[in-house]
Amino acid sequence: MRYADGPGAQCEVFVQAPVERVWALVTDIELPARLSPELQRVAWLDGAAGPAVGARFEGHNSRPSMRDWRTVSEVVELAEHRVFAWAVMDADGRFGDPVSEVAGALARWRFDLVPEGGSTRVRHSAVIGPGRSGVVLAIESRPEAEEKIVAFRLGELRTGMAATLEGIKSLAESGG
């Protein structure tokens, strides 16, 4: 798959907890920083106190092969107990020109929740592009390896998503 195709990854988990409890966890933007190998810390911006369409938050990321970087995300879809989605922008221009508009997002992330009896099915997904990112920089340095670079990044994203979902499952099922 090529970057221009908008490749994505997703993981899913079944949580034996009510959707309300799971919803509180997936909309806690600080939780993934405790569970993710890449995301280090997160904070709401512009006085936002929680998720709402248009609310923005910053994320600080780290990877062994790259300098640390900051992103700014904007909530693009919110349907209580069902969908929490955000677009990630390179507001500081780490990978090219600074981006503050959702149309130039370097990725889009989302949680989809489906109640099943007293339990909840949770899908975590991401689509990379169309904006510039570390993946684009890697492709530009090795264009002949684009499909391998994209596949590698999607694998990293799946690993992070699986860790996040397992953490959510553990917390929700233990009442945390």
**For 95-106, what is each residue's pLDDT tens digit?**
899 999 999 999
Q: Is the peptide bond before 115 cis (omega within 30 degrees of 0)?
A: no
Q: What domain range includes position 157?
A: 3-173
Query: In the predicted model, is pLDDT for residue 85 greater than 90?
Result: yes
pTM for the full predicted model? 0.94
CATH code of the domain covering residue 94 = 3.30.530.20
Which pLDDT band, with edges at 50, 70 and 90, does 176 fall under? low
pLDDT in the model for residue 101? 94
Here the tokens at position 101 are: 């508009």
Coil vs helix vs strand at 19: helix
Q: Residue 100 and residue 62: Cα distance in Å, rounded?
A: 21
pLDDT in the model for residue 23? 97
Phi then psi dihedrals of residue 18, to 5 deg:
-65, 155
pLDDT in the model for residue 49? 87
pLDDT digits (tens, 9 = 90+) for 7-17: 999 999 999 99
Q: How many domains does the chain have?
A: 1
Determine the average pLDDT of the residues in 107-134: 96
Determine the average pLDDT of the residues in 117-139: 95
Query: In the predicted model, is pLDDT for residue 128 greater than 90?
Result: yes
pLDDT in the model for residue 37? 79
Query: In the predicted model, is pLDDT for residue 66 greater than 90?
Result: no
Nearest to 58 by CA among 67, 66, 103, 48: 48
pLDDT digits (tens, 9 = 90+) for 17-57: 999 999 999 999 999 888 887 888 999 999 988 999 999 99
